[in-house]
A and B are shown apart, each in its own frame.
Chain A
Amino acid sequence: KQEVTQIPAALSVPEGENLVLNCSFTDSAIYNLQWFRQDPGKGLTSLLLIQSSQREQTSGRLNASLDKSSGRSTLYIAASQPGDSATYLCAVPSNDYKLSFGAGTTVTVRA
């Protein structure tokens, strides 16, 4: 059974600082990994998807890396802004139709 863990559970940084969010998974036989953003009481927005053949994926200030062999992914957010305050979740597919999610990292960026 795939287990996904995210560390830390919460993070508070001053505006402008870079953010590093970690995700680990137990079964390395994945074919992709996604990072999602969730605002309080809201649905999920996909930020980045990394295929198993890729090492990195970038979108604007966001960069996600994937190390399948060690079962880890890292999301970097450069030059954080108060608008980046949200919960960030990583997810891996357990089969063709199901995603297994971590519990998320709740980020607060202080102005």
Chain B
Amino acid sequence: ETGVTQSPTHLIKTRGQQVTLRCSSQSGHNTVSWYQQALGQGPQFIFQYYREEENGRGNFPPRFSGLQFPNYSSELNVNALELDDSALYLCASSTPEEGNEKLFFGSGTQLSVL
């Protein structure tokens, strides 16, 4: 078990609604990354936050937004949900010094959009 916790574990929403997913990073980690994993696919990078600022973004529309708080926990917000947003959303924490070599993933939030 890593020290990264995500909530909720499962969520069901309808098309057009908004959703907020939460992530608490591993102790001592100030960088949080979010990934979307559709069924049968590898995770796709959404964005990364470092010290409360967005530090990089993948190919996702602006309705995907995030926040990082002073305690380094993070939120992923998705507006105007679409059916294709149904996926497992993974959060990973790290430090800049170790970068992608020491990524600790949470167990994810399974989002279903009906």
Contacts and interface: CB of A to CB of B under 8 A. Distances in A.
Given A43-B2, A97-B55, A97-B100, A102 B108 contact: no
Contacts, number: 61
Contact of B56 (A44, A45, A97, A100): A97
Most chain B beta carbons < 10 A, residue from A32, A44, A45, A95: A44
A99 B36 CA distance: 12
A46 interface: yes
Secondary structure call for the B interface = mixed
Nearest to B58: A98
A60 interface: no
Size range of the interface on A?
20 to 34
B42 interface: yes
Interface of A: 4, 32, 34, 41-46, 49, 89, 91, 93-104
24 contacts: A4-B42, A32-B101, A34-B100, A41-B110, A43-B105, A43-B106, A43-B107, A44-B103, A44-B105, A45-B105, A49-B101, A89-B42, A89-B43, A96-B99, A96-B100, A97-B48, A97-B99, A97-B100, A100-B45, A101-B42, A101-B43, A101-B44, A103-B40, A104-B42
Interface of B: 2, 4, 31, 33, 40-45, 48, 55-56, 58, 88, 90, 92, 99-103, 105-108, 110
